[in-house]
Amino acid sequence: MSVPIAKSIKVALLQFYAGSDKIANLSKAKEYFLKALKKEPDLDLLVLPECFNSPYAVDQFHNYCERIPGGETTNMLSKFARENSINIIGGSFPELGEDGNVYNTSLTFNKSGEIVAKHRKVHLFDIDIPGKMTFKESASLHSGNKATVFDLEGLGKFGLAICYDIRFPELAMIASRRGAGVMCYPGAFNTVTGPKFWTKFGVARAIDNQNYVILCSPARNPNGGYQAYGHSMVVDPNGDVLIEAGHGEEIVYAELDPQVEIDARTSIPLSSQRRFDIYKDVSKDAVTSAL
C-alpha cells in the first residue's frame, strides 16, 4: 500500500540539452545544480533528465557508456551530493554493465553521496510511426529486469523508471503498492510523441496511484539531432499539473505536500476498493530492487 511522503519535499527539475562533449555535459549539469541551489537553498531534491551526459542517439550510446561505480558521471554526482548535502535523481546515462552490455541507467544519490537506487530502463523504445519516425533502442541497448523502489531518508519512498517505462502502468503500480509516494521518470519524449502523450501519461500515472509524478526532460537542442519535447513537470495525486517547463533550457521548482496525498486517498480510497479477488495484484510477485 502506498504511503504519503514523510514531509513537504522541495524539488528542482533541471531541463537542459546535452551536446557531443561528455565532460562539457557534466560541467553543465553541475552548473545547473549550483543555479538551483543558489535560487532555492533549502531544496531537498535535484532531478536531471534522461541521457544528460550524452546525445540521445542509438549509434552513440556505446561511445559514452561507463562503469558503475567508478565512472566520471557517477563520481561527479556522488561528490556534488555529498559536498552539498543534497539528494539527486541523476536522470540517466549509458552504463557499461559487467556483462559487456550497454544499459540506459538512472542512479539516485542521498545526501551523503551514496547510491541508494539504480534503475536500468526496462522497456526499450522501439517504434515505427509511418511517415514520421523510426527509432530502435534495442539496436544498442539491453533492458533492465527489475522494478525500482527505494527510500530517501526523511522524505519517504520513491519509485524510479525511465521514459518509455511510463507507458507501462505496472511499474508505477508496483512502486505505489510497495509504499512509494512519488514516481519519478527522467524522460526524453520527442516532438512527435510528446505533444500527444507526455502530459497524459504523467496525469494518468498520478491518478492511477494517487501519488506525485515527476517527469524531467532534456531541452530541445538548437544544434540539431534528436529533439526532445521538453515540458518537464510535476503532477499531484489528483492529476493536477503543479509546474511545467517550456521546451528550452530552464529550471522549474515545485513543493510536494503530503497532505494532498492524504486528502486524495481519504476522499477516494482506491487502495481499499481494489478487487484482487477478480484481478491480480501485480506487486505481489514483482521483481523489485533499489540497487
- Residue 216 annotated to the active site: no
Kindly report the CATH number assigned to the domain that includes residue 76: 3.60.110.10
Q: Is the pLDDT of residue 82 over 80?
A: yes
Q: Is residue 281 part of a domain?
A: no
174-185 pLDDT, tens digit each: 999 999 999 999
Domain count, the chain: 1
Q: Is residue 280 part of a domain?
A: no
Calculate the CA dihedral of residues 275, 279, 282, 283 and round it to 10 degrees.
Answer: 30
The candidate with the shortest Cα–Cα distance to 13, out of 81, 68, 91, is 91
- Residue 132 annotated to the active site: no
Q: Is residue 2 part of a domain?
A: no
C-alpha gyration radius of the chain: 18
Q: Is the pLDDT of residue 54 over 70?
A: yes
Q: Is residue 18 part of a domain?
A: yes
225 conformational bin, left if phi > 0, alpha if psi -120 to 50, beta if neither:
left
Q: Is residue 193 part of a domain?
A: yes
Q: Is the pLDDT of residue 68 over 80?
A: yes
- Residue 163 annotated to the active site: yes
Q: Which one of 163, 244, 249, 261 is the catalytic residue? A: 163
Domain interval for residue 111: 9-273
Q: Is residue 1 part of a domain?
A: no
201-216 pLDDT, tens digit each: 999 999 999 999 999 9
Q: Is the pLDDT of residue 131 over 80?
A: no
Spatial separation of the C-alpha atoms in residues 130 and 141, rounded to whole Å: 23
Q: Is residue 23 part of a domain?
A: yes
Residue 1's pLDDT is what?
Answer: 63
Q: What is the arithmetic mean of pLDDT over 121-149?
A: 89
Q: What angle do CA 92, 5, 195 make, to 5 degrees?
A: 45
- Residue 48 neighbours by CB under 8 Å, 6+ apart: 14, 29, 88, 89, 90, 91, 186, 216
Cα–Cα distances (Å) from 252 to 137, 149, 198, 217, in that order, read 29, 24, 17, 11
Residue 129's pLDDT is what?
Answer: 74
Q: Is residue 279 part of a domain?
A: no
Give me the sign of the Cα torsion angle 97, 103, 108, 112: positive
Chain position carrying cell 519524449:
189
DSSP structure class, residue 219:
P
pTM for the model stands at 0.96
Q: Which one of 22, 28, 118, 121 is the catalytic residue? A: 121
Q: Which one of 50, 137, 249, 261 is the catalytic residue? A: 50
